[in-house]
Amino acid sequence: MKKRIDVVAGEQSFNNLSRFNELEEMNKTVRVYKDTIITSVKRVDVQARLISLLELLKRHSCKQLGVSYMCKNTIAGKLEISYKTVQRLMKKLEQLGMIYQVPMKRKTDMLQTSNAVLIVPIEDMTDKTTSKESKKCPAIKTTTNSLKQNINNKRNDVPVSQNKVVKSFSKANFIAHWVPERFADLTSCYYNESQTIQELWKVVKQCNRVVNYATSERAFTPQQELNIGIRAFKEFVMKVKDNKKMQNKFGYFNGIVNNLMDKLYFDQNFLECF
């Protein structure tokens, strides 16, 4: 038996469903969820698709923070996967407690329309986990205030030294600003280290040679360069999946990028597209 749909799609409804106060809060939540997917999902291809879906939902959840309302066919088209695959990925993210779908109906005819997809804040996910664990271990009881107090006491007891600050900075893993966002999003599905992602983009930049030293003009425009980099990395991933032997991944990737650039430099259709 179908459940009754009570929520009418509209800006006010989407605003009411939002659980985030700031954009950075939502971005931080998604970063944590991406790490969780990598550690909890065994299959690399499923990891990549789940992360791509989560990133897509995040990008379309900025107007009403944490709430997106794209139909599944649109999502399937953007991710270049089937409708059924989108359904399975959505179900998996729901099982992991990262998203929640709210059935919606249109205001015009009151018939069902696309679900609103909510990104669940970390606090809500943590509360559910804590409540499950508390049933198993009723003797253990900790509150948020006591945890904060303990942390503050520890901070006050330990003097902050320059060495500790430097040590904490060394753990930072930000991707450099000069790496295009689309390339960073794709490669971060497979590599966690920012240094690796940056080296891969350097390979693309180095392969795009200067053809006119007087004007510093290169063989490809930045947009063409990005497109080639993404295509080359996808080909690189397929080679890795096929267990292709490679002594140096950067050297192998360099060969793929060079071959693509040699091929596309004389491809008029490609050059006219960008």
For the cut 90, the answer to whether the pLDDT of residue 89 exceeds it is: yes
| pLDDT of amino acid 3 | 65
Q: What is the mean pLDDT of the chain?
A: 81
Condensed to tens digits (0 to 9), the pLDDT of residues 18-70 reads 888 888 888 899 998 998 898 888 888 889 999 999 999 998 888 888 888 88
Condensed to tens digits (0 to 9), the pLDDT of residues 157-196 reads 444 444 544 455 555 668 888 999 999 989 988 888 888 9
Q: Could you give the CA distance from residue 62 to residue 22 in angstroms, rounded to a whole number?
A: 10
φ/ψ of 210, rounded to 5, equals -75, 130
In the β-sheet with 67-68, what is the strand arrangement from edge to edge?
67-68, 112-119, 99-105
φ/ψ of 121, rounded to 5, equals -60, 150
Bigger pLDDT: 246 vs 229: 229
Band (pLDDT 50/70/90 cuts) for residue 199 is: very high
For the cut 80, the answer to whether the pLDDT of residue 127 exceeds it is: no
φ/ψ of 190, rounded to 5, equals -115, -25
Band (pLDDT 50/70/90 cuts) for residue 254 is: very high
Distances (CA, A) of 252 to 187, 205, 237, 242, 247: 16, 15, 11, 14, 8
- In this prediction, residues 141-167 reach a mean pLDDT of 49
| pLDDT of amino acid 220 | 92
- In this prediction, residues 121-125 reach a mean pLDDT of 72
For the cut 60, the answer to whether the pLDDT of residue 249 exceeds it is: yes
| pLDDT of amino acid 126 | 52
Sign of CA pseudo-dihedral 225, 230, 234, 239 = positive
- In this prediction, residues 65-87 reach a mean pLDDT of 90
